[in-house]
Amino acid sequence: MLSKFAKLIVDYCVEVREGDEVLVNASYEALPLLRELWKELVSRGAYPRLNMTDEVLTEIFYRYAKDSLLDYKSKIDKYVVENIDVRISIISSTHTKPLINIDPERMKRRSMANRELTEIFMRRDGEGSLRWVVTAFPTKALAQEAGMSPLEFEDFVYRALKLFHEDPVEAWKEQSKRQEEIVKLLSKASELRYVSDDTDLTVKVDERIWINDVGKKNMPGGEVFTAPHEDGVDGHILFDLPSVWRGIEVRNVKLKFRNGVVVDAEAEVGGEFLKKALETDEGAKRLGELAFGLNYDITKPIKQILFDEKIGGTVHMALGAAYPSTGGKNVSAIHWDMIKDMSRAKVYADGELIYEGGQFKI
């Protein structure tokens, strides 16, 4: 299974070529997958570099770094993001909330220091000069966070990735065809309206580009997304699925927008962290992405955004940076996805009902 996983990443997600400089980010928990991935990369003539991550080291940094270090802009980090050809990030947590008691102000400062890196990444993504993918390796910590046993979680992850198909690449191509029909439908819309008992939000999307995500940059894939007009979001929305961002969990986030800007925000859990994040910069108060989750092999939230945002029958919206490939212009140091269950909601495109009960009406 891991060999199939590694080949899916290398040949399908990022299409590695001879001579590529490839940066791989992962924790030591992902070592079984890393070995298979290394073999596939080297055999194709790519040059892999490993950035080994560890949650304890991350906590130490945020807990003990002086303000001058939180504000530090690394020349090495900038060189890497400017010059690599491929970036493969493998979520393989050993602890899912290492920053739970860290002052949000310290994380805000670090986000501001890394803003240039985010902008470089977004620019290179938009121009197509950087191929990248984020995926996940099933660890015990992630399984525990999801409320599953290790074997149950492994099965959940591999089903979401379509690794149980004889030919996972062909399965993703079939998913792509289905989603392309939805992209065609949404590309005709000038305005979307999301309506339910707790939501009434209108978003302008005319002349924006809808992207068909089928695992090329996120694996698992299974969404279509775009960027709204920066001043074209009005109304209110409740994101009722839990969201964990930078190790902090927030629940039941309520946002009110006027002319694209968040004018009121609250959360049942994590409200202070939410408000600090909104203060990161001006772009943090606007939406950089809106999307529909279409991977119906993912059936429930596991507090891991890579999977949760793809749940079939959901929508998600991101505060902060927009992907230039969508035509979005919002710039921010953050990109924070929040998810809403749409099983009791409707979406209208220019007044016409196109989505109801978690399904498109096509």
Q: For the segment 53-66, what is each residue's pLDDT rounded down to a tens digit?
A: 999 999 999 999 99
Q: Is residue 253 within 8 Å of residue 272, measured between CB atoms? A: no
The pLDDT, as a whole number, for residue 347 is: 98
Q: Give the residue from 162, 133, 158 showing the smallest Cα distance to 143.
A: 158
pTM of the entire predicted model: 0.83
Of the given ranges (37-41, 68-72, 260-264, 322-326), which has the lowest mean pLDDT? 322-326
User: pLDDT-based confidence at 190, cuts 50/70/90?
Assistant: very high
- What's the average model confidence in pLDDT over 168-192? 95
Q: Output the CA angle 81-305-326, nearest 5 degrees.
A: 60
Residue 102 CA: distances (Å) to CA of 108, 169, 241, 286: 11, 41, 23, 25
Q: Strand locations in the chain, DSSP E?
A: 21-27, 47-53, 86-91, 131-136, 191-196, 199-204, 211-213, 223-226, 233-239, 243-245, 248-258, 261-269, 287-293, 314-320, 335-341, 346-349, 352-356, 359-360
> How far is residue 338's CA from residue 278's CA, in Å, rounded to a whole number?
13
What value does the CA radius of gyration of the chain take, rounded to a whole number of Å? 20
CA distance 137 to 33: 8
Instruction: Say how far apart CA 38 and CA 46 lie, in whole Å.
Output: 9
| Residue 248: per-residue pLDDT | 81
Highest mean pLDDT among 125-129, 208-212, 274-278: 208-212
Give me the pLDDT at residue 96, please: 83
Q: Decide: residue 198, CB within 10 A, 0-12 exposed, 13-18 middle, 19+ buried.
A: middle
- pLDDT in the model for residue 220: 95
pLDDT at residue 147 greater than cutoff 90: yes
pLDDT over 80 at 178, yes or no:
yes
Alpha helices in 187-323 (DSSP H): 271-278, 305-308
Helix (H) or strand (E) holding 3, with range, is: helix 2-7
Q: Average pLDDT over the chain, rounded to whole?
A: 94
Structure tokens of 290? Answer: 């809106």
Rounded-to-10 torsion of CA 89, 93, 96, 102: -70
CA nearest neighbour of 307 among 193, 104, 148, 86: 148
Residue that has been written with the tokens 């994590």 in this structure: 270
Q: What percent of the chain has pLDDT over 90?
A: 84
Please state whether beta strands 131-136 and 86-91 pair in parallel, antiparallel, or not at all (unpaired): parallel
Average pLDDT over residues 235-252: 89
Report domain extents, the chain: 2-160, 168-360
pLDDT at 126: 83
Say how far residue 10 (Cα) sits from the centre of its chain: 20
Per DSSP, the residues of 205-237 read: -TTPPPEEESSSSBSS--EEEE---TT-EEEEE
Q: State the number of CA atoms in the 13 A half-sphere of 359 facing the CB.
A: 4
Give the pLDDT confidence of 91-123 residue by residue, as tens digits. Answer: 999 988 888 888 888 988 998 899 899 889 989
Instruction: Report which residue type is found at 237.
Output: I
Packing angle between helix 104-113 and helix 55-64, nearest 10 degrees?
100
- pLDDT value of residue 100: 82
| pLDDT beyond 80 at 246 | no
Locate 328 and state its tokens.
Answer: 């979005």
Domain 2-160, CATH number (from 3.40.50.720, 3.40.1830.10, 3.40.50.1220, 3.40.50.150): 3.40.1830.10
Query: Confidence class of residue 223 from pLDDT cuts 50, 70 and 90?
Result: very high
Question: What's the mean pLDDT in 17-30?
Answer: 96
Nearest-angstrom CA–CA distance, 149 and 49: 32
- Write out the two tokens for 154: 């492994």
Which amino acid, one-letter code, is at 115?
R
Rounded distance between C-alpha atoms, residue 135 and residue 144, angstroms = 18
User: What's the gap between Cα 14 and its chain centre?
Assistant: 16
Distance between CA atoms of 246 and 237, rounded to whole angstroms? Answer: 22
pLDDT score, position 101: 86
